[in-house]
Amino acid sequence: EPAAMDQLRFSWKVAGLIPDADLNRREKSDSPVRLVLTFDGDRSRLSARDAMLSELARAVTGEEMPYATLMYVWSNDLVPGTVVANRRTDRIRKLVIESGPAGLNQWQEYQRDIRADFEKVFGELPGTLMSVGIMTDTDNTGGQARAWYGPVTLAPNTQTQTLALPLPK
């Protein structure tokens, strides 16, 4: 629940950037690492376009489209802190937290305030956190990527809950 959300801790290691990837261009929007958070929310606030997309998703898959999706990403060149809205729906937004080649081939560790990040990218408080996922993708560029993910840990208030496996050696 939103009141229980506090800190998100995670780590990743990226072997290399994806040549030609550009998060601002739909046809090149790939990233070597993404941590994906999906949220529930007040669907009456969806735009007409997003409400139609949500209905289409439910008709095709039998599942509700998340109210909002926040992705933490590594960009080839966008400045950390940059927010990139999805071209198809404004309910998916990427927050750049790493950029360029400087940290490649090294474990990068992060601690994020989920509520503050959600409010920054969507301009509203988050609903219930529904899922956490990881994603390495090169479908748009046709390139290749290699990355490792460490533990993903939520630290709501005073307790910690681990959601992933320990770091690979």
Q: What is the pLDDT of residue 169?
A: 52
Burial annotation 54-87 (CB, 10 A radius, 16+ → b, else e) = beeeeeeeeeebbbbbbbbbbbbebeeebebeee
Is the entire prediction scored with pTM above 0.95? Answer: no
Distance CA 14, CA 147 (A): 4
Q: What is the pLDDT of residue 119?
A: 95
Q: What is the pLDDT of residue 74?
A: 97
Series of mean pLDDT values for 10-residue runs along the chain (169 residues): 82 96 94 96 86 87 91 97 91 96 97 95 94 94 96 72 50
H-state helical runs in the chain: 48-61, 114-122
Among 90, 88, 48, 97, CA closest to 68: 90
Q: What is the pLDDT of residue 159?
A: 47
- Across 30-169, the runs of DSSP E, i.e. the strands, are 31-39, 68-75, 83-85, 92-99, 108-113, 129-137, 147-149, 153-155, 161-162
Q: What is the pLDDT of residue 91?
A: 92
Q: What is the pLDDT of residue 160?
A: 45
